[in-house]
Amino acid sequence: MTRLLISIGLIAWLSPLHSHEPFSLITLKVRAHLVQSATNPRLQTTLTERGIRAAFEEVNAIWSPAGIRFELEAVASLRALDLAPKRWFIKDRDWVKSAIPTNQFSPTAIDVCFVKDMGPNGFFYGEPVVVCENPEFHKVSGGTDNVVARVTAHELGHVLFLQHRQERTNLMASGKNGVSLNEQEIKDARRRALEILGQMPQP
Ligand SMILES: [Zn+2]
């Protein structure tokens, strides 16, 4: 018995993959934009700075197993451009993106814009990240109740080059509220986060 325990202890000590391995915290800056629009109510978020800060506490809890932290450098209002209402042949995400001016974007942070109502729950295909405050999703076990945080954390996963996954409880599953990350995703996300840090001009 003692010999068996010693062997198990030795394997755990030798294994480079054991899960308690400490790794350095990577911090990425984020600028949150509360989109405002007098002409297109769908764009006008009802979220407040307080709500955004609470959502980012949850985002950081979700990303903590990866040792990645998203630090809010600012939360500010952003007036949308006065676009004509969306036409049926235009994709919702394209219309929303075209209504968001880029002149208040941060040169040193990931820009995340919050809108009230949108077809997809969120999107990222080059800056900015856009998050809908009323996302539609299916609940899964262990999922978060803060759905704005979940969509934000998921889109930030795309910023870190993570792809969609089929596993229901995974953060990168579409339309679910799961928050788990697997070891490969943690490795890939950390590698990309370090690349982003290297590319961003320092303030
Ligand atoms: Zn996605």
pLDDT digit string, tens, across residues 87-128 = 888 999 999 999 999 999 999 999 999 999 999 999 999 999
Cα 175 from Cα 65, distance rounded (Å): 22
Residue 201 pLDDT exceeds 80: no
Compute, in angstroms, the gap from residue 35 CA to the centroid of ligand 1.
21
Compute, in angstroms, the gap from residue 1 CA to the centroid of ligand 1.
49
pLDDT of residue 127: 93
Residues in the chain, total = 203
pLDDT of residue 71: 98
Percentage of the chain surpassing pLDDT 90?
82
The domains located in the chain, with CATH, are 25-199 (3.40.390.10)
pLDDT of residue 84: 85
Compute, in angstroms, the gap from residue 169 CA to the centroid of ligand 1.
14
Compute, in angstroms, the gap from residue 154 CA to the centroid of ligand 1.
6
Q: In the 8-state DSSP scheme, what is residue 170?
A: B
pLDDT of residue 73: 97
Each residue of 24-41: pLDDT tens digit?
A: 999 999 999 999 999 999
Compute, in angstroms, the gap from residue 16 CA to the centroid of ligand 1.
31
Instruction: Give me the chain's average pLDDT, please.
Output: 90
Cα 77 from Cα 32, distance rounded (Å): 8
Cα 116 from Cα 147, distance rounded (Å): 13
* pLDDT interval class at 14 (50, 70, 90): very low
Choice between 84 and 203, residue whose per-residue pLDDT is larger: 84
Compute, in angstroms, the gap from residue 178 CA to the centroid of ligand 1.
12
Each residue of 135-149: pLDDT tens digit?
A: 999 999 999 999 999
Tokens for 122, please give them.
Answer: 């969120």
* pLDDT interval class at 21 (50, 70, 90): low
Compute, in angstroms, the gap from residue 11 CA to the centroid of ligand 1.
38
pLDDT of residue 11: 44
C-beta separation of 129 from 152 below 8 A: yes
Each residue of 62-96: pLDDT tens digit?
A: 999 999 999 999 999 999 999 888 888 899 999 99
Cα 79 from Cα 180, distance rounded (Å): 35
Compute, in angstroms, the gap from residue 121 CA to the centroid of ligand 1.
8
Compute, in angstroms, the gap from residue 153 CA to the centroid of ligand 1.
10
What would the mean pLDDT of 188-199 be, rounded to a whole number? 94
Compute, in angstroms, the gap from residue 12 CA to the centroid of ligand 1.
35
Residue 170 pLDDT exceeds 60: yes
Compute, in angstroms, the gap from residue 124 CA to the centroid of ligand 1.
8
Beta strand ranges found along the chain (DSSP E):
26-36, 68-79, 110-115, 122-123, 129-132
Compute, in angstroms, the gap from residue 80 CA to the centroid of ligand 1.
24
Residue 15 pLDDT exceeds 50: no
pLDDT of residue 83: 87
Compute, in angstroms, the gap from residue 197 CA to the centroid of ligand 1.
22
Q: Which amino acid is at 152?
A: T
Compute, in angstroms, the gap from residue 13 CA to the centroid of ligand 1.
37
